[in-house]
Amino acid sequence: MREITYLQAITEALREEMQRDQDVFLMGEDIGLHGGIFGATKGLFQEFGPHRVRNTPISEAGFVGAAIGAAVANTRPVVELMYVDFTMVAMDQIVNQAAKLRYMFGGKARVPLVIRTQQGGGRGNAAQHSQSLEAWFMHVPGIKVVVPATPADAKGLLKTAIRDDNPVLFLEHKLLYGTKGMVPTHDYTVPFGQALVMREGQDVTLVSYSYTLLKALQAAEALANEGVSVEVIDLRTLVPLDLPTVIASAQKTGRVVVCHEGHKRCGAGAELAALVMEEAFDYLDAPVQRVGSLDVPIPYNGNLENKVLPQAEQIIAAVKAIL
Amino acid sequence: MDLSRDQLLYMYRMMLTIRRFEEQAIEFFTQGRIRGSMHLYIGEEAVAVGVCSALRLEDYITSTHRGHGHCLAKGARLDYTMAELLGKATGYCKGKGGSMHIADLDTGNLGANGIVAAGVPIATGAALAAQYRGTDQVAVAFFGDGATNQGVWHESLNLAAIWKLPIVYVCENNLYAITVPAREALSVTDVAERAKSYNIPGVVVDGNDVLQVYQAARTAVQRAREGQGPTLIECKTYRYEGHYKGDPCVYRSPEEVRQWKETRDPIKNFATFLMEKGGVSPQVLDQIQWEVEAEIAEASRFALDSPEPEEENLYEDVFVSC
């Protein structure tokens, strides 16, 4: 174990999987010599060459579509989309093609494709570069959705994604890239569909993932100082979803708050709240609460942006509302 | 032309097979045995057969919503294809795809597609995989004139051109994008002119002449296999049926349809060619016709007798289970 950043963890996962498997190659905008706009592929072009670290034109629909074709034709492409907002440009490819080919072909095709991208606000990138769109993809059967919060998970989950024979949308968060954490030095993977209880508690359960998990942990710490015992769950993957861990916790605490940076309306929290009510209604002592971004486009101004994105204070308030 | 008599007769047989297959499909559709939408290839058979005759089994194709012809010409079985149209468990997609989504990876067919132009980047990616893995496979993307107005079509041609991918883009220009005439929807007279933007060869052929199509495809496939990059081939052709089965065809005159059928039918004209220039007797062609009829009848029986898919398999194949 040693301490590295989330970004370094991503780069390590890419490097190790490319060393392990010749079929793995990277495609994306500015990922070559430049090393990616956030630096996730830094050094890989020099190490593996232009054949395996492939700069693309600014042509998201075209190269995501090509990656799907390459995946069906026995390679394992890992595509970088610079911002999650740009998935919208390639939406037909992701939703109508990647997610559906296997099913509509009766199980004939495999689509071992990873689309890596980063999402979230907090840097003043404004409405078209700050969204959190995981709920859009959770809605579509046929694509896995991964939302790591820590460096160790970022590396282990990315390795699992690259080895998976299905299309995977791997959602990093721009504010997590600089965060540090202990990461094993040996080859390891983190399985999909296994949530992690980050902090045990008795009074209320906070369900979260990605960057908002850090705020949920801050909220839990502050509430502990006031004598409230908070359990915090990191979902790590949304598809597949580890519902049993959430339900077990809901049965124990009787109170659940779901926190994420996606907009509150039709966000992942709506689905989780409904699932908790369907599976654990008799155990609940209060309605399930949701904390998400306000239902407006993400504004540029820093003060306004902070108001729109969920903060620890809103999570604390949501907990207190049901105590 | 370097084609043997057997190859010429194969082309005739395959065009006839596609036509008879679809005539049978019309019957099943009318009987209510085929659901949803069905887009017929009748009239365009020379394109699929001419192009696929220039390909190897391991080469890739992507097809379109009008895909039965590509599927059969690439080597798919009649029985599994017909079973898929009837939604049966024995069909190529176990009844989950239907007419618009037939794929057969064993013959390199990466699937028909319900989204116009969506197969084009997929074929481009298959060509990229071939180049990446160092195989000498070639990919072909089939699409209509309407698809060439989609963004991904242009993006794909650009990608293939800058990376010199082993791919042939085959446009089936049947003059109408659903109901809109090509002359109203295209900025160019010939789709092939669009190749200039991507600095690749663009050629126009008579898409109802199987030998012209074959010749152009063979040149383009060879070029692709030798690492010289993509080619765009525009095949001028015509669909006898409407866009879909049931289309009232208000956008074209019965006279226009009649003229194409009478003077430019790809099968009839090829039969004449075979008899006049190829020394093939009418008896040989009759024999092929009977054999095709029998094969279609057998495939139809298989499809009709096949079981329906089980409800318990509904959740199967959403994901590869790991």
- Chain B contact for A64 (CB, 8 A cutoff): yes
Nearest-by-CA chain A residue for B157: A62
Task: Check: CB of residue A14 under 8 Å from CB of residue A28.
Answer: no
- The minimum CA-CA distance between B122 and chain A, rounded to whole Å, is 4
Report, as ranges of residue numbers, the positions in chain B whose pLDDT lies below 50: none
**What pLDDT, on a 0 to 100 scale, did the predictor assign at position B303?**
98
**What pLDDT, on a 0 to 100 scale, did the predictor assign at position B247?**
87
**What pLDDT, on a 0 to 100 scale, did the predictor assign at position B66?**
96
Amino acid found at A156: G
Q: What is the DSSP letter of A77?
A: E
Only one residue has tokens 């034709």, namely A73
Backbone φ and ψ of B9, nearest 5°: -70, -35
Cis peptide before A240 (omega within 30 of 0): yes
Task: Check: CB of residue A108 under 8 Å from CB of residue B92.
Answer: yes
Q: What is the count of residue pairs from A and B with beta carbons less than 8 Å apart? A: 153
Least CB–CB distance from B318: residue in A56, A67, A142 = A142
Q: Which of B56, B219, B235 is nearest to B130 (CA)?
A: B56
With residue A64 as reference, give the H or E element that holds it.
helix A60-72
Least CB–CB distance from A70: residue in B113, B129, B158 = B129
Nearest-by-CA chain B residue for A25: B132
Least CB–CB distance from B94: residue in A65, A106, A142 = A106
- Chain B contact for A68 (CB, 8 A cutoff): yes
**Any idea which residues of A carry the catalytic annotation?**
60, 129
Residue range B200-224, pLDDT digits in tens: 999 999 999 999 999 999 999 999 9
- The minimum CA-CA distance between B43 and chain A, rounded to whole Å, is 26
The dihedral sign for the CA sequence B76, B82, B86, B91: negative
Residues 280-319 of A with CB under 8 A from B: none
Predicted confidence pLDDT, tens digits, chain A (323 residues): 999 999 999 999 999 999 999 999 999 999 999 999 999 999 999 999 999 999 999 999 999 999 999 999 999 999 999 999 999 999 999 999 999 999 999 999 999 999 999 999 999 999 999 999 999 999 999 999 999 999 999 999 999 999 999 999 999 999 999 999 999 999 999 999 999 999 999 999 999 999 999 999 999 999 999 999 999 999 999 999 999 999 999 999 999 999 999 999 999 999 999 999 999 999 999 999 999 999 999 999 999 999 999 999 999 999 999 99
Nearest-by-CA chain B residue for A52: B132
Strand partners, A182: A3
* Chain A residues touching B120 at Cβ < 8 A: 65
The HSE-up count of residue B113 (CA atoms within 13 Å, CB side) is 30
Task: Check: CB of residue B86 under 8 Å from CB of residue B28.
Answer: yes
**What pLDDT, on a 0 to 100 scale, did the predictor assign at position B245?**
79
**What pLDDT, on a 0 to 100 scale, did the predictor assign at position B77?**
98
**What pLDDT, on a 0 to 100 scale, did the predictor assign at position B2?**
79
- Structural domains of chain A in order of their starting residue, each with its CATH number: 2-183 (3.40.50.970), 196-322 (3.40.50.920)
Write the class of the CATH domain B5-313: alpha beta
- Chain B contact for A159 (CB, 8 A cutoff): no
Its ipTM equals 0.95
Contact A61 B318 (CB under 8 A): no
Strand partners, A168: A114, A144
Nearest-by-CA chain A residue for B106: A108
Sheet with B202-206, side-by-side order of all strands: B60-62, B139-144, B167-173, B231-236, B202-206
Measure Cα distances from A147 to A20, A103, A132, A134, A240 in Å: 24, 24, 11, 8, 11
- The minimum CA-CA distance between A146 and chain B, rounded to whole Å, is 15
**What pLDDT, on a 0 to 100 scale, did the predictor assign at position B322?**
60
The domain ranges of chain B are 5-313
- Computed on alpha carbons and rounded to an integer, the radius of gyration of chain B in Å comes to 19
